[in-house]
Amino acid sequence: MYNLRLLRQLRYSLVLQNSGTSLAPLPPCRLLAGQHKRRPQLGALPSDQLDRLKSEYFERQCALSNEDWQHVRSTLTESYRHVNGTNVDAIILGLCSKAEQLPVAKSFVEHLKTQGIKPNAATMGRLLRVYNAAYHTRELSEAEQSEIVEICDTLQNAHDVLDASSCENLILGLVATTHHWDRALPLLDMMRLTSTPSVSAYSALIAKAFSADQLELGWRLLDEMVQARKMPKCEIFLSLLAHSAKDERTLSVQLERLFCFLELHDILISELVAQQLLALAQRLPQRLQVSTTRLERFGKCSNCQQNLQHVAISDAQFTELRESFLQKVLIRNDVFQKTTPEELQRFKQYVEKTAPYDCVIDGLNVAYSTGTKKPPAQLAKLLATVVRYFKERRKRVLVLGRQHMRNWSKPAMQYIQSNASVFFTSNLTHDDPFLLYATLRSGQDTDFFSRDLMRAHAHLLGTELKAIFRRWQQEHQYSLVTQTQTGQIIVKEPIRYRLSAHKVGNVWHVPCCEAYSANPPDSFEVPEKWLCITIAP
């Protein structure tokens, strides 16, 4: 259907095209359908006028006359500076994008045709999204599915290459069909030419694969999606659960696989998914018991009374983590972009001489915890207070600092230097890798003090080790919550039990969140709600 090598050669110009503000097509112009990649910013329209248009025309939920459509079109183009002949049609379809508005959306496209206007790719893409919305509320008729396929054919025949946004629209259209959804797979490849496929595209396709009994395909894409750091939407898990419920004999295997996946990738399920699991258990009580639960002190489940697993990792896992960290994070070339081999060498020798420590403190991070604009005397005093916190607990401390901190107030810096080992890196050095090196090098009992969530470092380790790194991080990371008026500090101590889905004995404990978030926080907070789940073998 399209020539991959040609596409790769085109990649550079496609990227340029998408990053520019001018969206004129590149020559030869048939190659792209991306003139309208940017979604029109509907929020920019004054809302009162927009509401009037919506309630007068789009909420009738049926076809509009040619006169009505002409009026809507001219009102929008005349009233809003950024609405023009090129984007107005897609904007109109954006205004009637709810499932029940499919007839209105179709009537608009019909209207364009009667006026001799050929709807552009963005407009037809928007229409596909409305079909998709309808598909989520009911099964589409044969005729509707044929309409989708026809639109996709037209768009694909007109353009050898579609931009990522058009690919997403087509994918959303195709998954609403029973027999043509697998045509969406090469579109996912096409998206990869210019970007990582979107959360919506992945989620729609994976949910479809599960519901169409293509489990291995679904799981493969799901793994790929999380590798690309895209958070799976609820529709994926809902689809998998609905499919698993169809066959009681394989239900336990499917559920175990799902929960292991949640554990490995530290994913919380949303309220919607939790409700479906509870409903499934009600329907099949012999197969599955699910209760909502909360944790008591020290991570005790108030339902089954068991304690959640300790977060600590095994000695073998720690050794593997330490070695891999050195290989993948510290020795990686780009560490040297922010330091020099000489500085790294000097640091390693210093650590060899002064380790082991009980705690390694990121000095600048701590000093800036309550704001970066404070006078140096105050910054130094805060750091000294944190050093004292550990000193009072008879801990051996290493403070990582920057050269410029040497100029901070003398008494506080003197206190720090006489009560801790202190290593100053150059002002430009990125010191997280140094912090992690010193902590890991010191041994399995060593903690560190920093607010940094170390996301990038964790990701470099790969999926399996990332999960182990996160557990190690959770067990060993201290951070400053605040400093009181009287100068006292409140320190956040590590939570010692596991916060991700895991099994205690034969009972799964799965953490929940209220709703799906594309970027859930990486901080270690105890989820309020959990599910306590027993699966019959």
Contacts with Zn ion by CB under 5 A lie at 301, 303-304, 532
CB of 508: closest distance to Zn ion in angstroms? Answer: 9
User: Quick one: 303 or 339, whose CB is closer to Zn ion?
Assistant: 303
Q: Do the strands 421-425 and 447-449 form a parallel or antiparallel pair, or are they unpaired?
A: unpaired
Q: Do the strands 288-293 and 529-535 form a parallel or antiparallel pair, or are they unpaired?
A: antiparallel
User: Quick one: 18 or 307, whose CB is closer to Zn ion?
Assistant: 307
Of 377, 415, 420, 372, residue with least CA distance to 400: 420
User: Quick one: 205 or 532, whose CB is closer to Zn ion?
Assistant: 532
Query: Cis omega (within 30 of 0) on the bond before 356?
Result: yes
Query: Cis omega (within 30 of 0) on the bond before 28?
Result: yes
CB 236 within 8 A of CB 207: yes
CB of 222: closest distance to Zn ion in angstroms? Answer: 26
SS3 128: helix
CB of 388: closest distance to Zn ion in angstroms? Answer: 40
User: Quick one: 272 or 304, whose CB is closer to Zn ion?
Assistant: 304
CB of 310: closest distance to Zn ion in angstroms? Answer: 16
CB of 225: closest distance to Zn ion in angstroms? Answer: 29
Could you tell me how far CA 438 lies from the centroid of its own chain? 30
CB of 295: closest distance to Zn ion in angstroms? Answer: 9
- Helices 271-283 and 234-244, packing angle to 10 deg: 10
User: Quick one: 458 or 531, whose CB is closer to Zn ion?
Assistant: 531
User: Quick one: 321 or 512, whose CB is closer to Zn ion?
Assistant: 512
CB of 35: closest distance to Zn ion in angstroms? Answer: 55
Instruction: Output the CA torsion sign for 202, 206, 216, 467.
Output: positive
CB 253 within 8 A of CB 286: no
Provide the b/e sequence for 500-510 (b: ≥16 CB within 10 Å): bbbbbeebbbb
User: Quick one: 292 or 409, whose CB is closer to Zn ion?
Assistant: 292
32, 75, 95, 98, 108 from 91: Cα distances, Å: 20, 12, 6, 14, 12
Distance, CA of 477 to CA of 474 (rounded, Å): 6
Helices and strands in the chain, H and E counts: 22, 13
**Measured distance between the N- and C-terminal CA atoms of the chain, rounded to whole angstroms:** 47
User: Quick one: 284 or 504, whose CB is closer to Zn ion?
Assistant: 504
CB 395 within 8 A of CB 359: yes
User: Quick one: 301 or 435, whose CB is closer to Zn ion?
Assistant: 301
Distance, CA of 273 to CA of 220 (rounded, Å): 21
CB of 244: closest distance to Zn ion in angstroms? Answer: 22
CB of 258: closest distance to Zn ion in angstroms? Answer: 18
Distance, CA of 91 to CA of 84 (rounded, Å): 10
